[in-house]
Amino acid sequence: MRAYGEIATIGFLGPPRTNGTVLHEAFRLAPPGVTWCWSTMGLPEFGQFEFDQALAAAEVCAKELASRQVSVIVMTGIPLITSKGAPYHEQLERELANAIGRRIPITTDIHCVLAAFAALNLRQIAVSSIYQRYIQDNMIRYFQHYGVRTVADEALSYALADCITRPTMTTAYETAQGVLQRAPSAQGLFIACPQWPVIDHIERLERENGIPVITHLTAIMWGGLAHIGVKAPLSGFGRLLSQWPDWAEAPTAAA
């Protein structure tokens, strides 16, 4: 793709059939010359059967994004990927890369998040999300596989439709502050799920708590671009984007 994506176009391969907030915030984050191209797997709701159905559509979506000549594909869906257990994203990336003939680099959102943790040297984190408890637990175990320990967390247990309709503009900030009060040893905060309003709280949370804040969407944008060697520092949305560290691989935790 060219036009708006003169520097790069991020192919966003997303699960939900319906998207709202994530689209608004993604385009607000995009630096000049960077744009997004969306493809969705048709996920109607959270649940293992639904996760498996959506994952079955990922290959078709990846091929469609490749045909649009995006610069990089980020396969998103932490609930889907972590339901399979670590290190499933590594297998998934190989399968999708093979499906498109390795024409375009492919990564996953969980890989971008883990790389962000490694790039900022975060080994102990607090986590807040709107996920249901079992999804959050799967994610925490996945992080642990790569040596990142969750010292406190909060999951609001929303259904998928609730992710767009229930949060207010301050829900993410209030949830994050609540979990950070219980996490004095946290080296960073991860706010999971890009479907609720998040990005306007990053700088305030970092300023008030003195630690980096990684959000799902900032990790996806940084990770997708960093994965292909593009640097696009952006102020106003936290250390990850303003400092723009190089991509770093997270080591697997010792058995």
The alpha carbon of residue 37 and the mean position of all alpha carbons in its chain are separated, in whole angstroms, by 16
Boundary of a domain, candidates 80, 108, 136 = 108
pLDDT for 23-57, tens place per residue? 999 999 999 999 999 999 999 999 999 999 999 99
pLDDT for 219-240, tens place per residue? 999 999 999 999 999 999 999 9
Residues 209, 128, single domain; the answer is yes
Residues 15, 86, single domain; the answer is yes
Report the share of the chain in percent with pLDDT over 70.
98
Domain of 195 in residue numbering reads as 112-217
Of 133, 137, 177, nearest to 156 (Cα)?
A: 133
Dihedral over alpha carbons 228, 230, 235, 237 (to 10 degrees): -10
Residues 127, 100, single domain; the answer is no
70-80: average pLDDT: 98
pLDDT at 91 over 60: yes
Give me Rg for the CA atoms of the chain.
17
Residues 45, 118, single domain; the answer is no
pLDDT for 190-214, tens place per residue? 999 999 999 999 999 999 999 999 9
Q: What is the CATH number of the domain that holds 178?
A: 3.40.50.12500
Residues 144, 87, single domain; the answer is no
What is the number of alpha carbons within 13 Å of residue 179 lying toward its C-beta? 25
Q: How far apart are CA 223 and CA 240, in angstroms?
A: 10
| Counted domains in the chain | 2
Average pLDDT, the chain: 95
Q: Report the DSSP pairing between strands 124-129 and 188-191.
A: parallel
pLDDT for 149-163, tens place per residue? 999 999 999 999 898
Residues 116, 39, single domain; the answer is no
The conformation of residue 222, written as its DSSP 8-state character, comes to H
Q: How far apart are CA 214 and CA 104, in angstroms?
A: 26
Q: In what order do the strands lie in the sheet with 72-75?
A: 34-43, 8-16, 72-75, 106-108
Residues 122, 47, single domain; the answer is no
Instruction: Report if residue 213 sits inside a domain.
Output: yes
pLDDT at 1 over 80: no
**What is the model's pLDDT at position 12?**
98
pLDDT at 164 over 90: no
Residues 170, 195, single domain; the answer is yes
Residues 73, 157, single domain; the answer is no
Decide: 32 and 69 in contact? Cβ < 8 Å. no
Instruction: Report if residue 225 sits inside a domain.
Output: no
Residues 7, 102, single domain; the answer is yes
**What is the model's pLDDT at position 254?**
46
